[in-house]
Amino acid sequence: MILTVVLIVAAPGLAFGLWFCWACVIPSSTFFRPVLVRGPREGKRISLTFDDGPAAQFTEQVLDILREHHVPATFFVCGKNVEEHPDLLRRIVAEGHEVGNHTYSHLHIFFKSRRRMAEEIDRTQEIIEKVTGFRPKIFRPPYGARWFGLIPILLGRGMHLILWSVAGYDWKKDMRGITEAVMRRLKPGAVILLHDGRETRSAAEIDRSRTVLALPGIIAGARRRGYTFAPLKDFLPST
């Protein structure tokens, strides 16, 4: 009897919690839209994305591999890191890759005001524009988090919200684990999440060597299965 009462009382809270997790946390959720989680199913095109850079050493290594294999990619950069490594952002652009906004300080946007979110996005837009001469049209929130007020900010700036459909889990897996995580979930239109930097202030704490080691195997493995690498802009609705 008591258990039944507890369940009846707790059920709405539990349901709300599950809905909240789906809407704000799960990368594939589409409650906050428009959003791009995955590209078109037709054709065997996939797209590589790298978050949290630019970072000394690792961004360069990732760029070297992409150049060697003629693979386009997208870099979702933090404004703070661009201030420290403007040359790396210039190289990203010079080598034909796309650039997206990933906030200034790698802000977790849960429970943040619209003003705070806009500040982080705008500050990063300005920094990127100063270095490259253009303002990105794509935004990926740190941790894939979404929050109320984000969509109007992006729409007001003509920006697209980008999540991902395949995570490499390169923040916790080794080289082999990263490659397996990507290859296992690869499907046409996949948007693959990897990292060339890290949301830390200390350069000594950044180690993306496992991502760098895994990348050639991911490229080769995907091509063996008939996939081609497309720029993320090919996955967006034409404007």
Report the DSSP pairing between strands 228-229 and 166-167. unpaired
Q: Which x/- pattern over 34-53 shows residues binding Zn ion (rule: CB under 5 A)?
A: -----------------xx-
> For residues 52 and 98, which CB has a smaller minimum distance to Zn ion in the complex?
52
Looking at the DSSP bridge assignments, the partners of residue 47 are: 191
Query: Least distance in Å: CB of 35 to Zn ion?
Result: 16
Q: Is 120 in the site for Zn ion (CB under 5 A)?
A: no
Region class of 57: left (phi > 0), else alpha (psi between -120 and 50), else beta? left
Binding part of the chain for Zn ion, among 4-12, 140-148, 174-182, 209-217 by CB under 5 A, reads: 140-148
List the one residue from 142, 168, 189, 197 that touches Zn ion (CB under 5 A): 142
Residues 200-229 that bind Zn ion (CB under 5 A): none
Residues present in the chain in total: 239
Residues serving a catalytic function are: 51, 195
Query: Least distance in Å: CB of 68 to Zn ion?
Result: 25
Query: Least distance in Å: CB of 14 to Zn ion?
Result: 29
> For residues 51 and 196, which CB has a smaller minimum distance to Zn ion in the complex?
51
Residues with Cβ within 8 Å of 170's Cβ and at least 6 positions away in sequence, in order, are: 178, 194, 195, 208, 210, 211, 214
* Coil, strand or helix at 47: strand
Q: Quick one: CA torsion of 195, 76, 46, 212, rounded to 10 degrees?
A: -30
> For residues 44 and 123, which CB has a smaller minimum distance to Zn ion in the complex?
123
> For residues 52 and 60, which CB has a smaller minimum distance to Zn ion in the complex?
52
Query: Least distance in Å: CB of 200 to Zn ion?
Result: 11
Where are the strands (E) in the chain, listed by range?
A: 35-36, 45-51, 73-77, 98-101, 138-139, 160-162, 166-167, 191-195, 228-229
Residues that bind Zn ion (CB under 5 A): 51-52, 142
